[in-house]
């Protein structure tokens, strides 16, 4: 790693921090209804839905509206994928998708996971890519924002029955945030060379005389919302390592920045909406420390000489370049791997399967924590707030006081819901991996033995439950077993968080706020940031360290012993 690599990382962080308050203030005005430049279109949507902008829902009504909307989207995506063979915008005449792949893909995009058990350019038509997948790329991150807004209102409102209206929140998040940013970013990508057309694939002859098919299509539009919505599902199988999705060093940095832009700015929006920006900056600081710490570990591990090369009598200082896109190099590849798993993006510009064991462990651990280090659009912050409430509960136990946050008492009902969420996450990751390890169908998908093969399965279920979508590429996942199992894991990871957090939002909204006293624990200072980071790492470590010890940690020590699989 040289000074240029270091300068790129510093530039990336500086630009992200500088953009945070700018977009954060804009989103506050949007979600509070103070920006109305698309109000005619907004009114049409509300009128056709039979609602008004000022309508309010209880948390249970909000939840049912969310589940109904997502359920309809799931059915539509399955229908389009299974019927694409007879639908238009299919110049390559690609056949229908199998039932299990259609189920897995539909669940993946509805839950904002964007796990891909298929090669986009060889499996899906333009209609499937645009109508089925890209639409979900907008409404699934908007759904995450809706849940976050409901939780913010639960914390900021006093003795209220409602937490907002799902349709209003969804409409504003899509119209005023995701659509405008995506249009601008898509134009930038087209300027940099990303295709945007409906042409059939091009047949060419190489200099060696071989025939090659060059895939193209409406790439820029999907790429823009893929990044801004922390979706991650690529138009091409190689994702952002493909030169049509990520053609230049500039697009590489812009796409990484786009992944974290909205999640980071939402933390600032949170501080403004609860009436205390210090609360938002405290969470931002915790996220920043965890981000930089994970990045430092991954960079150190990936830049270490591979000890296996010495055991094989080769130059151990050649570096580890397998699976790294040579246009971007090792440092940018590791930075992307860290960014994409700190958010719930799942996009890649290198193959995580080829990272050194400890470098590959960092993205895996990021997902196991629930991707709360910035996280998905909306979902990352409400995952972080879950740990905030748990940290306050632990602090309350230590001093013998009922924990409070923003004047609201955290009582038994909220704590039970929070713990249920953590248990569901652990069961989804560890239970799914265990089933894969002991079943013939699960083991049949492995292309590697030993701890690395175990890491492939563990990474897959961590990615599914974390709603990330990236993968260790050595796992053959397009089978009925993995398509169904990972689909169920995605549902657990998405709605196992959404349902309890909306219940917590409703419970907190109904409570009165108590004024701060001398005994109140301040939640905007360095002490709380340290406590929060400690709770996140301890809970994550206790839950997942044994599994990590069997996978990447065991593989790390095996390399130093000269053992490979």
Q: What would the 3-class secondary structure string for 179-198 be? A: HHHHHHHHHHHHHHCCCECC
Are residues 218 and 136 located together in one domain of the fold?
yes
Are residues 258 and 319 located together in one domain of the fold?
no
**Which residue, of 231, 246, 274, is where some domain finishes?**
274
pLDDT for the residue 210: 86
pLDDT: which is higher, 514 or 222: 222
Are residues 324 and 185 located together in one domain of the fold?
no
pLDDT band (50, 70, 90) for residue 234: confident
Domain presence at residue 314: yes
Domain presence at residue 25: yes
pLDDT digits (tens, 9 = 90+) for 340-398: 999 989 899 999 888 999 999 999 999 999 888 999 999 999 999 999 999 999 988 88
For residue 414, give every residue at least 6 positions away whose Cβ sits within 8 Å of its Cβ, in sequence order, or none.
389, 504, 507, 508
pLDDT for the residue 318: 58
Mean pLDDT to the nearest integer, 65-87: 96
Rounded distance between C-alpha atoms, residue 256 and residue 345, angstroms: 10
Rounded distance between C-alpha atoms, residue 362 and residue 534, angstroms: 17
- Residue from 392, 401, 414, 418 nearest 522 by CA: 392
pLDDT for the residue 59: 96
pLDDT band (50, 70, 90) for residue 32: very high
Vertex 107: Cα angle to 63 and 201 (nearest 5): 135
Are residues 467 and 327 located together in one domain of the fold?
yes
Count up the domains in the chain and report the number: 2
pLDDT for the residue 317: 60
pLDDT digits (tens, 9 = 90+) for 235-252: 898 899 999 999 999 999
Mean pLDDT to the nearest integer, 202-227: 89
pLDDT digits (tens, 9 = 90+) for 462-518: 999 999 999 887 888 999 999 999 999 999 999 999 999 999 999 999 998 877 776
**Are 545 and 378 in contact, with CB atoms under 8 Å apart?**
no
Strand ranges in 25-158 using DSSP code E only, listed in sequence order: none
**Are 201 and 93 in contact, with CB atoms under 8 Å apart?**
no
The two three-digit tokens of residue 107, written as one number: 């669940």
Inter-residue long-range contacts of 516-521, CB under 8 Å, 24+ positions, other chains counted: 516/407, 519/401, 520/404, 521/392, 521/395, 521/396, 521/399, 521/401, 521/403, 521/404
Are residues 390 and 261 located together in one domain of the fold?
no
Domain presence at residue 434: yes
Q: How many residues does the chain have?
A: 565
Q: Is the pLDDT assigned to residue 520 strictly greater than 80?
A: no
Are residues 362 and 289 located together in one domain of the fold?
yes
Rounded distance between C-alpha atoms, residue 23 and residue 267, angstroms: 10
**Which residue, of 274, 300, 315, is where some domain finishes?**
274
How much is the mean pLDDT over the chain?
A: 91
Are residues 96 and 157 located together in one domain of the fold?
yes
Are residues 496 and 540 located together in one domain of the fold?
yes
pLDDT for the residue 309: 73
pLDDT digits (tens, 9 = 90+) for 407-465: 889 988 999 999 999 999 999 999 999 999 999 999 999 988 899 999 999 999 999 99
**Are 217 and 126 in contact, with CB atoms under 8 Å apart?**
yes
pTM higher than 0.75 for the full model?
A: yes
**Which residue, of 274, 292, 312, is where some domain finishes?**
274
pLDDT for the residue 281: 96
Q: Is the pLDDT assigned to residue 314 strictly greater than 70?
A: no
Rounded distance between C-alpha atoms, residue 59 and residue 285, angstroms: 30
Mean pLDDT to the nearest integer, 4-18: 94
> 127's torsion region: left (phi>0), alpha (psi -120 to 50) or beta?
alpha
Q: Is the pLDDT assigned to residue 315 strictly greater than 90?
A: no
- Residue from 291, 240, 420, 395 nearest 12 by CA: 291
**Lowest-pLDDT range of 276-280, 285-289, 452-456, 519-523:** 519-523
Rounded distance between C-alpha atoms, residue 464 and residue 458, angstroms: 10
Are residues 122 and 18 located together in one domain of the fold?
yes
Are residues 343 and 416 located together in one domain of the fold?
yes
- Residue from 479, 490, 470, 494 nearest 100 by CA: 479
C-alpha R_g of the chain: 23
Per the structure, the complete domain to which residue 137 belongs is given by 3-203+211-274
Domain presence at residue 247: yes
Percent of the chain with pLDDT over 70: 98
Rounded distance between C-alpha atoms, residue 139 and residue 8, angstroms: 32
Q: Is 419 helix (H, G, I), strand (E, B) or coil?
A: helix
Are residues 490 and 432 located together in one domain of the fold?
yes
Domain presence at residue 565: no
For residue 319, give every residue at least 6 positions away whose Cβ sits within 8 Å of its Cβ, in sequence order, or none.
303, 305, 306, 330
Task: Taking the CA atoms of 172, 176, 179 and 185 in sequence, report the sign of the dihedral they define.
Answer: negative
**Are 265 and 228 in contact, with CB atoms under 8 Å apart?**
no
Q: Is the pLDDT assigned to residue 316 strictly greater than 60?
A: no
Rounded distance between C-alpha atoms, residue 292 and residue 304, angstroms: 18
Q: Is the pLDDT assigned to residue 300 strictly greater than 70?
A: yes
Beta-bridged to residue 202, according to DSSP, are 214
pLDDT band (50, 70, 90) for residue 311: low
């Amino acid at each position: 790693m040289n000074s240029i690599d270091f300068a790129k990382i510093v530039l990336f962080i500086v630009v992200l921090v500088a953009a945070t308050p700018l977009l954060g203030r804009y989103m506050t005005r949007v979600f509070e209804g103070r920006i109305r430049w698309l109000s005619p279109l907004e009114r049409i949507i509300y009128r056709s839905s039979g609602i008004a902008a000022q309508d309010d829902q209880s948390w249970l009504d909000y939840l049912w509206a969310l589940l109904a909307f997502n359920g309809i989207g799931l059915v539509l995506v399955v229908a389009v994928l299974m019927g694409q063979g007879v639908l238009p915008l299919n110049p390559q005449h690609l056949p229908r998708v199998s039932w299990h792949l259609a189920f897995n893909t539909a669940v993946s995009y509805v839950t904002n996971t964007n796990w891909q058990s298929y090669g986009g350019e060889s499996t899906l038509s333009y209609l499937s890519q645009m109508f089925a997948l890209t639409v979900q790329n907008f409404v699934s991150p908007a759904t995450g924002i809706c849940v976050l807004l409901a939780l913010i209102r639960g914390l900021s409102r006093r003795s209220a029955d409602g937490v907002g209206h799902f349709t209003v929140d969804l409409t504003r998040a899509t119209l005023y945030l995701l659509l405008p940013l995506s249009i601008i970013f898509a134009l930038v990508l087209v300027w940099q060379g990303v295709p945007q057309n409906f042409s059939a694939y091009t047949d060419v002859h190489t200099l060696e005389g071989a025939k090659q098919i060059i895939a193209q299509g409406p790439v820029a539009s999907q790429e823009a919302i893929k990044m801004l919505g922390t979706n991650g599902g690529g138009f091409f199988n190689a994702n952002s390592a493909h030169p049509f999705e990520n053609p230049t060093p500039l697009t590489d940095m812009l796409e990484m920045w786009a992944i974290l832009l909205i999640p980071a700015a939402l933390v600032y929006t949170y501080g403004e909406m609860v009436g205390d920006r210090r609360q938002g900056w405290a969470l931002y600081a915790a996220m920043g420390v965890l981000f930089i710490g994970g990045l430092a570990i991954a960079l150190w591990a990936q830049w270490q000489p591979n000890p296996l090369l010495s055991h094989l009598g080769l130059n151990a200082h050649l570096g580890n370049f397998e699976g790294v896109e040579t246009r971007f190099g090792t440092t940018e590849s590791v930075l992307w791997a860290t960014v994409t798993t700190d958010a719930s993006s799942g996009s890649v510009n290198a193959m995580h399967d080829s990272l050194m064991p400890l470098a590959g462990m960092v993205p895996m651990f990021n997902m196991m924590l629930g991707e709360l280090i910035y996280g998905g659009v909306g979902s990352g912050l409400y995952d972080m707030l879950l740990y905030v409430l748990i940290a306050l509960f632990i602090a309350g136990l230590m001093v013998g006081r009922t924990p409070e946050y923003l004047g609201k008492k955290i009582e038994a009902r909220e704590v039970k819901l929070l713990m249920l969420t953590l248990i569901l996450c652990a069961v989804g990751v560890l239970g799914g991996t265990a089933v894969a390890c002991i079943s013939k169908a699960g083991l049949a998908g492995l292309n590697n033995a030993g701890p690395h093969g175990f890491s492939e399965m563990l990474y897959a279920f961590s990615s599914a439950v974390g709603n990330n979508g990236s993968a260790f590429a050595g796992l053959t996942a397009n089978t009925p077993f993995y398509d169904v199992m990972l689909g169920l894991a995605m549902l657990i990871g998405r709605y196992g968080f959404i349902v309890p957090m909306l219940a917590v939002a409703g419970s907190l909204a109904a409570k009165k706020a108590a004024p701060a006293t001398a005994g109140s624990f301040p939640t905007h200072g360095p002490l709380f940031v340290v406590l929060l980071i400690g709770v996140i790492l301890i809970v994550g470590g206790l839950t997942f360290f044994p599994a990590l010890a069997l996978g990447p940690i065991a593989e790390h020590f095996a390399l130093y012993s000269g053992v490979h699989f």
